[in-house]
């Protein structure tokens, strides 16, 4: 199978399209925090804990944050991001090109989705959305199949 590999750190799989197993889709609806990885200007990773949402219809992972945050600055500059969620032996990473959205409809939609998965976010007039167009999915063996 293309994209499949056995790594020293456990078996993983890279899916070339955003086709997730039912187990992976369910995992992405559970209430877990994740890590967001963006790149600093010197190329080193900036990794922070975040809440995020997955939209299977659009293929977007969304993170809400302040417009002046390091996360937002990094995405504006590099245009790429990844979110990784882990729960014991279950893990999944979504990565791809990313943009910062600051228009009110996009922010409201991201806030609505965040509230469904986590809680109603606190008021923040400078909130933006980091929208990741997921082009690569890496996951552990437990999330590959139903």
Q: What are the beta bridge partners of residue 7?
A: 10
The whole-angstrom separation of Cα 69 and Cα 65 is 7
Q: What is the pLDDT of residue 146?
A: 54
Contact 30, 95 (CB under 8 A): no
pLDDT at 8 over 90: no
Encode pLDDT of 91-125 as tens digits: 999 999 999 999 999 999 999 999 999 999 999 99
Q: What are the beta bridge partners of residue 49?
A: 35
Q: pLDDT category, 61, cuts 50, 70, 90?
A: very high
Q: pLDDT category, 67, cuts 50, 70, 90?
A: very high
Within 8 A by CB and 6+ apart from 118, the residues are 31, 51
Can you list the domains of the chain with their CATH numbers? Answer: 4-143 (2.30.110.10)
* Total-model pTM: 0.86
pLDDT at 40 over 90: yes
Q: Looking at per-residue confidence, does 128 or 145 come out higher?
A: 128
Average pLDDT value for residue range 21-48: 96
pLDDT at 32 over 70: yes
User: What are the CB-based long-range contacts (under 8 Å, 24+) for 3-10?
Assistant: 10/140, 10/141
Identity of the highest mean pLDDT range in 4-8, 127-131, 140-144: 127-131
Average pLDDT value for residue range 45-56: 97
């Amino acid at each position: 199978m293309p994209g499949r590999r056995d790594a020293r750190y456990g078996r993983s799989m890279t899916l070339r399209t955003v086709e997730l197993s039912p187990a992976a889709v369910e995992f992405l609806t559970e209430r877990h925090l994740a890590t967001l990885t963006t790149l600093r200007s010197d190329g080193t990773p900036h990794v922070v804990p975040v809440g995020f949402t997955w939209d299977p219809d659009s293929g977007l992972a969304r993170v809400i944050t302040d417009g002046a945050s390091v996360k937002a600055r990094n995405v504006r500059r590099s245009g790429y991001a990844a979110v990784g969620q882990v729960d014991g032996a279950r893990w999944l990473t979504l990565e791809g090109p990313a943009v910062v959205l600051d228009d009110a409809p996009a922010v409201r939609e991201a806030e609505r989705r965040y509230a469904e998965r986590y809680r109603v976010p606190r008021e923040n007039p400078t909130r933006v959305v980091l929208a990741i167009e997921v082009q690569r999915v890496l996951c552990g063996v437990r999330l590959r199949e139903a």
